[in-house]
Amino acid sequence: MIRLTDELTIELQHPIVSVKVSEISNADLSQIQNQVGNLSSYSLIVHDFHDGPFLTNLVSNATKVMGLNKEISLRLRSLRSDVIVGHTVASYEQLESFVESNLTLITFGMAHKIQSARYRKVASLLKFDQRSHILEISSALHEGTQFDDSFFEVGDEIAEFFEGRVRFLGFLADPEVSRRVARANAMLAFFPNGARENNNSVLSAMHLAIPVITNLDELSPTWLKHNETVFDIERLEKFPTDSELKRVGFAGRIAVADLTYAKLVESLSANQGLSGAS
């Protein structure tokens, strides 16, 4: 399976093209139409119906067209009468065995913030460790942002570093995020520069006494100290032992104990000598 925006598309002989128009960005519409237009023949699977020239052209030029349910197919038959009714397929055809491990690591991040080189170093350190391990990855997208190909490319790259010992969690509700973090042995949180005061995932893990492996620089807060309250991946020469993980986790919780919303509000209150509009 390849994406329609991939240049390899034009080399395919009668591919099956699958589209969900509502999820195609305006920027990709013309490129996809050009790519499909260069195909000598193709069959088409349609996931939703949207009026407009894009879908009309795809349907008109396809050898065969399938709507993924009866409702979609009936609407597509306004464009051509021979549309057939399809169906979805099972995402899980067999139960996935749960992989037990001595070390469960967890990480969160948007595609552009995931620093694959630092994950590579963690994986290389674990190769010399006798403990079994698994890395759990959950996406973290801010409102108004969306997935792009880089998320999947980086995810595949990280999975390769860890030789497949990776579990993709997808989107998680806040209570499930808290539960997953609390049962992990360590969190991985890497940034383009260094960890900062406003890195919520780092602070939240530290409040739960979960040790954080991150990267530090001269602008990182003073309460983040390598081998004391966190681990700096750039300074690690071996993966921390169980006792080292627990020591740093507990020290981290103490270090951030006063970093609460109440303290933040207190520092902005009038009796702290700060001036400003009320």
Query: Could you state, in order of their start, the residue ranges of all structural domains in the chain?
Result: 7-85, 103-261
215-242: average pLDDT? 97
- The predicted model scores a pTM of 0.66
The fold of the 103-261 domain, in CATH, is Rossmann fold (3.40.50)
Q: What is the pLDDT of residue 239?
A: 98
When pLDDT is cut at 50, 70 and 90, the band that residue 98 belongs to is low
Please, what is the average pLDDT of the chain?
83
Report yes or no: 16 and 48 within 8 Å, Cβ to Cβ.
Answer: no
Q: What is the pLDDT of residue 34?
A: 82
Q: What is the pLDDT of residue 156?
A: 74
When pLDDT is cut at 50, 70 and 90, the band that residue 114 belongs to is low
264-275: average pLDDT? 66
Q: To the nearest whole percent, how much of the chain has pLDDT over 90?
A: 50
**Of 230, 87, 106, which Cα lies nearest the Cα of 158?**
106
> Across-strand partners of 224?
none
30-38: average pLDDT? 81
Q: Is the pLDDT of residue 273 over 80?
A: no
**Of 170, 172, 166, 201, which Cα lies nearest the Cα of 187?**
201
Burial class (CB in 10 A: 0-12, 13-18, 19+), 84: exposed
Q: Is the pLDDT of residue 122 over 70?
A: yes
Q: How far apart, in Å, are the Cα atoms of 248 and each of 41, 130, 131, 174, 214?
A: 60, 21, 19, 24, 13
**Cβ atoms within 10 A of the Cβ of 70, count?**
11
When pLDDT is cut at 50, 70 and 90, the band that residue 64 belongs to is very high
Q: Is the pLDDT of residue 112 over 50?
A: no
**Cβ atoms within 10 A of the Cβ of 205, count?**
29
Report yes or no: 64 and 44 within 8 Å, Cβ to Cβ.
Answer: yes
Q: Is the pLDDT of residue 276 over 60?
A: no
Q: What is the pLDDT of residue 154?
A: 57
Q: What is the pLDDT of residue 265?
A: 82
Q: What is the pLDDT of residue 90?
A: 66
Q: Is the pLDDT of residue 220 over 80?
A: yes
Q: Is the pLDDT of residue 67 over 60?
A: yes
**Across the chain, which distance is largest between two alpha carbons, in Å?**
76
Report yes or no: 61 and 53 within 8 Å, Cβ to Cβ.
Answer: no
